[in-house]
A and B are shown apart, each in its own frame.
Chain A
Amino acid sequence: MKKIKVIGSYITKFGELWDRSLESLFEEAVFGSLNSVDGEKFTNRKVTHQYGTTMSEAKFKLSDIDAVFVANMAAGQFANQLHLNALVSQMLPNNPVSFRVEAACASGSMAIEMAELGLLSGRYRTVLVVGAEKMTDAMVSDSTKILAGASEYQKEYGSTFPALYALLAQAHMQEYGTTTNQLAKIASKNHIHALNNPKAQFRKEIPIDVINNSMVVASPLRLFDCSPISDGAASVILTTKNIKKYSNKPTIEGFGHGQDSLSLVDRKSLTELSATKIAANQAYRQAKVKPKDISFAEVHDCFTIAELLACEDLGFFRKGEAGKAIDNNMTTYGGKLVVNPSGGLKACGHPVGATGVKQIAFLSEYLEKNSKIKGKTFALAHNVGGSGATAIVHILSKTNK
């Protein structure tokens, strides 16, 4: 595969950002990532706000951006704003061609995948991918209905996302004896990880007994098993140009994409997400690595059971053994690998359209800061749409000489 470098990235603060609009989140992420790239200076007549101290000394040449890929799930319902590709493209003076990508909670990683395909085809050489979601302008109860649109809503009347993942949790518990305490440990671990992430929505340790005694949303899932409603945006700049110049930047080594039925009843197994397994196998094969080579992973923990399933489906642990591994602290610092160092969707937040882009942006920055050992360090991003109908896996690396 042609080398794709992640040369710029930016993540806005995630949370209930009442004073921020969807457009301002997009704008902060776009110019944040542009300003993170070393390059020529540019001025942008269309910038109306200043983000950070480097705005007036932005270094990246805007004309280098051949195309923009915009990820979002439901701005039409949350903010009555459509035509998002044009909304973002107009922020750049050269109005690059732009595309909007939607795949529910996997919108972000699918936008990155579309961008990668554009780069690999040779059509584009440098692209900007931005994902954003502004969710808190809607009532939480309305958000539940909007998000249910990622399932077969017309067909499965009465389903909610927590209910669908609760059924997956029940299936795993029946088959492998997974416990609610193991799910609570996942939530607790991700809240601890988020303490080190200034962009995270929740930077607070949550004791396991508080998680185990929180209100039931859909049995066995409780409030603290669920990721929050969030606002936020993230952006990355990918290039196949001047690779030598960016040799110290993270590389996308491989990616994969799996699909399964929207409806749970049409699936072969409810104790795994087969879309994840398909996507992971493709990504591992392309990157020429194995699960044991991964040091850090951002996995899609929209609910705690989703992280447990991911740890097995991505091959980090054998089927039915992730619960025990979590009990033995194998997915945190000092364990086999660090899962969700950002805090994951659970504690960092889950602005759905931004999440997949945030995973790549976070891992790129994390690899730059944490891959001190000589040689290659590998990280994996796993993003899921719906209750597992779409899954996209990326493998990144950073080489230290």
Chain B
Amino acid sequence: MNIQPAQYHRSTKEWHHLIGEKGRVLLSTKVEVSSPELEDYLPYSYLIVKLNNGKKVELMGESKTDFEIGDSVELELRKAGEVSSSSVIPYCLKAVKLD
């Protein structure tokens, strides 16, 4: 994932306050085919999660994990790639299944 520092700065402002939020899986799909930058994660789950605060978010689930509707999850930080040509290490969010 090649991301410019300014883009990364903006995107983190969108999601940094969601780290640690908990909720439940509303809908889930397992993605088996994707673009090259996401191939290392395949297969991965793409989810709609309803957080306990009522907000809904779309995001990737933890790699190699199966998610079902109703599963309890927590949002964690996820490394989204290696150091890009602009020297940014991209991070974003993932949903992690809670026991």
Q: Which residues of A are at the interface with B, using a C-beta cutoff of 8 A?
A: 141-142, 144-145, 148, 154-160, 162-163, 166-167, 170-171, 174, 215-221, 263-266, 270
Contact of B44 among A158, A162, A270 (CB under 8 A): A158
Query: A219–B14 contact, CB under 8 A?
Result: no
Taking a contact as CB atoms closer than 8 A, the residue among A167, A171, A218, A263 that contacts B33 in the complex is A218
Number of interface residues of B (CB under 8 A): 29
Pick from A145, A155, A216: contact of B32, CB under 8 Å: A216
How many contacts between A and B, using CB within 8 angstroms?
A: 88
Q: Which of B7-36 contact A (CB under 8 A)?
A: 7, 10-11, 14, 27-36
Cβ contact of A160, chosen from B28, B34, B80, cutoff 8 A: B34
B36 and A145 contacting across the interface, CB-CB below 8 Å? yes
Counting chain A CB atoms within 10 Å of each CB, the highest count among B35, B36, B69 belongs to B35
If the complex has contacts A148-B35, A160-B34, are A263 and B58 also in contact, measured as CB distance less than 8 A? yes
In the complex, chain A residues whose CB is within 8 Å of the CB of B60? 157-158
CA distance A218 to B29 in the complex (A): 6
B26: min CB distance to chain A, Å = 8
- A265/B58 contact (C-beta < 8 A), A158-B44, A167-B48, A219-B30 known: yes
Find A166's partner among B29, B58, B92 (CB 8 Å cutoff). B29
Asked if B30 contacts A218 (CB within 8 A), the reply is: yes
B56 interfacial by beta-carbon distance below 8 Å: yes
Interface residues of B (CB under 8 A from A): 7, 10-11, 14, 27-39, 41, 44, 46, 48, 56-60, 69, 80, 92
29 A/B residue pairs, CB under 8 Å, sorted by A: A141-B36, A142-B35, A142-B36, A145-B36, A154-B7, A155-B11, A157-B59, A157-B60, A158-B41, A158-B44, A160-B33, A160-B34, A163-B29, A163-B31, A163-B46, A166-B29, A167-B28, A170-B28, A171-B27, A174-B27, A215-B32, A215-B33, A217-B31, A217-B32, A218-B30, A218-B46, A263-B58, A265-B57, A270-B48
Tell me, rounded to whole Å, the shortest Cβ–Cβ distance linking A202 to chain B. 19
Instruction: Let me know if B57 and A159 touch, CB within 8 A.
Output: no
The interface residues of chain A lying within 8 Å CB-to-CB of B10 are 154
> Which residues on B sit within 8 Å (CB–CB) of A264?
48, 58
Q: Which residues from A are CB-within-8-Å of B48?
A: 167, 264-265, 270
User: Bound complex: CA of A166 vs CA of B30, how far in Å?
Assistant: 9
The CA of A103 and the CA of B64, in the complex, are separated in Å by 35
Name B41's closest neighbour in chain A (CB-CB): A158
Cβ of A153 to closest chain B Cβ, rounded Å: 10
CB closest chain-A residue, reference B43 = A216
